[in-house]
Amino acid sequence: MHPSPFVSVVLPTHNGGRYLDQAVASIAAQSCGDWELILVDDASTDETPGKIAAWAGREERIKPVRLDENRKLPGALNEGFRRAAGEYLTWTSDDNWYAEDALARMLDVLCQSPEADIVYTDYALVDAGGSPIRREHARPKEDLVLGNCVGPCFLFRRRVLERLGGYDEDFFLTEDYDFWLRASLEFSFLPIGEPLYFYRQHGESLTALQQREISLACEKAVLRWLPQADWLTRKLRGQALEALGLRALLRGDVKAGRRHLLRAMLLGRPPRFHKCRSYAVDWLLGAAAGNWFRRRFRTCK
């Protein structure tokens, strides 16, 4: 055994009792035994505190943390990582779970790839009951211009967290995407094409309940990151602006959508609208507004 846990996993939860047991059980069952789990109760008022106490009582590698005031996800993550002792770090959600070899496989890749700072994997998207929907693939670092390509299953070296100073608490709802954007400025990413995680899609998740707010937070994160991202090519910069424009149009913000898409066009990136190029003419002429645009855009294949 190592003098400190090789892998520290932070699991923040706020009223997450419904799925929490499965999430924690998947960590307890990891084939890699050199781990600790910091369970951060972010001021829950449901059965979550009792479940955390029960798990901590039967597994010494589980460390409970109770926050008296709701800090929201980035604040809870920072509290958890302040207590993390491992040289390799990750976090997971209370409604998702790991494959049995997830930590071992990611740790093995990092140990065999000294040039890599962050590894991340494919994952299975499942419904509320845990039935599979589809497999999501880990995409290259360059796809950060389009969105959070890292996904929910990852492992990174402690120096990444220390250099970035943790999660930015001003970026609630997109704290993970902002973290990876900032990490891309100086650290290397390595995708692993193996499905090692199960991501539950359900109507009570933040992703489902606050789509507009998430879109705005993503826009804020990307606009802060773009001027600093010296590694981006002209094409990638145009793709980032195009993605911002389409995201804005989908939430009904035509003014912002046009602004971002025009900037993308100045970089040589013509609007694609998911291969529906004829609609670019309509949009430029001013016909694509509000529900009309969203309806036509969503029918494009």
Task: Tell me the pTM.
Answer: 0.88
Topology (CATH level 3) of domain 7-209:
Spore Coat Polysaccharide Biosynthesis Protein SpsA; Chain A (3.90.550)
- Determine the pLDDT at residue 284: 47
Q: Please write the tens of the pLDDT for every residue from 250-286.
A: 888 999 999 999 999 999 876 554 444 444 444 444 4
- At residue 203, the pLDDT reads 74
Judged against a pLDDT cut of 80, whether residue 218 lies above it is answered with yes
**Mean pLDDT for the stretch of residues 190-218:** 87
Mind giving me the DSSP string for the chain?
A: --SS-SEEEEEEESS-HHHHHHHHHHHHT-S---EEEEEEEES--SSHHHHHHHHHHH-TTEEEEEESS--HHHHHHHHHHHT---SEEEE--TT-EE-TTHHHHHHHHHHH-TT-SEEEEEEEEE-TTS-EEEEE----GGGGGTS--S-S-EEEEHHHHHHHTS--TT-TTSHHHHHHHHHTTT--EEEEEEEEEEEE--TTSHHHH-HHHHHHHHHHHHHHHGGG-TT--HHHHHHHHHHHHHHHHHTT-HHHHHHHHHHHHHTT----TTT-THHHHHHHTT---HHHHHHHHHT--
Domain locations in the chain as residue ranges: 7-209, 233-298
Position 272 scores a pLDDT of 58
